[in-house]
Amino acid sequence: MPAAFIGHGNPMNTLEHNRYTEAWGAFGRSVPRPRAVLCISAHWYVNATAVTAMAQPRTIHDFFGFPDELFAVEYPAPGLPELAEEVADVVEPVWVGADADSWGLDHGTWSVLVHMFPDADIPVVQLSINAIEPFDFHVDLGVRLAPLRERGVLVVASGNVVHNLRAVNWSTPDAGFDWAQRFDEDAKAAMTGTPGEIGRLRGHADFAAAVPTPDHYLPLLYLAGLADAAGTPADTLIDGYAYGSLSMTSYTLGTGAGTPIAAEDGSAAAALPTGVAPEDTNL
């Protein structure tokens, strides 16, 4: 089964059709039907390793300042408790969430899957990002998750390579600052060259600006680990920027696609909400 890292950006991408959402949908249509999706979302960033195991995960609207239309979105995909058990055997989580209140599907997951698998008929399990573990832990965990691909599980990591909400520039909705482009391009060189060396980016001159907090960057390390385990570099699905300080670049593994998907729609990523500071939106 292939795998992917998706630069999900603004949750309003859920409701819009643009070149990014078109690429996500094209990827979903291109893969064999998965037994299940294991999603590693930037928005389940907690001080523990955990996995969802409920039969019917709830749709979590974990953001602020967006229109009611977005809060009304539901993604009623089933869970798959037996996959949660398989993941638990690998990652040895602190806890397994079987009840409805222990988590669910956050917008880092459903804003992407609504385009990949709009029928919401493929089971979805989420794995948390353990905030107290070092970067190498996350790469290694990606390596250890690799056998799930042989069992029909599509691993989808969701975040943003560059994610600095305090640096958002409202006047550049489809462009990136020089520092954002430098970091994103060097990340691309690693992912499409030697993914196992992704850790060297911690010493990058632009790391502090591109990754002021690690939550959105860490999902990339899971795909790097999967690629390292496969001995195969990742491919670029689509690339681009939003509001200067967000990278929308996405990668795939095992698709045989050596070039980005050519999206017919050239439109920018979804607009940010007005009336609330970007850093207060939880996007």
Rounded CA separation 200/178 (Å): 20
Q: With left for phi above 0 and alpha for psi between -120 and 50, is residue 165 left, alpha or beta? A: alpha
Residue 68 burial (10 A CB sphere; 0-12, 13-18, 19+): exposed
pLDDT digits (tens, 9 = 90+) for 49-78: 999 989 999 999 987 678 889 889 999 999
pLDDT for residue 277: 73
pTM: 0.92
Q: Which of 93, 77, 74, 73 has the alpha carbon at shortest distance from 85?
A: 93
- Rounded to whole angstroms, the Cα distance separating 267 from 250 reads 16
Confidence of residue 110 (pLDDT cuts 50, 70, 90): very high
Q: Please tell me the distance from the alpha carbon of residue 20 to that of residue 234, in angstroms, as a whole number.
A: 18
Fold that domain 3-280 belongs to in CATH = Protocatechuate 4,5-dioxygenase; Chain B (3.40.830)
- pLDDT higher than threshold 50 for residue 262: no
What digits encode the pLDDT tens for the residues 179-204?
A: 999 999 999 999 999 999 999 999 99
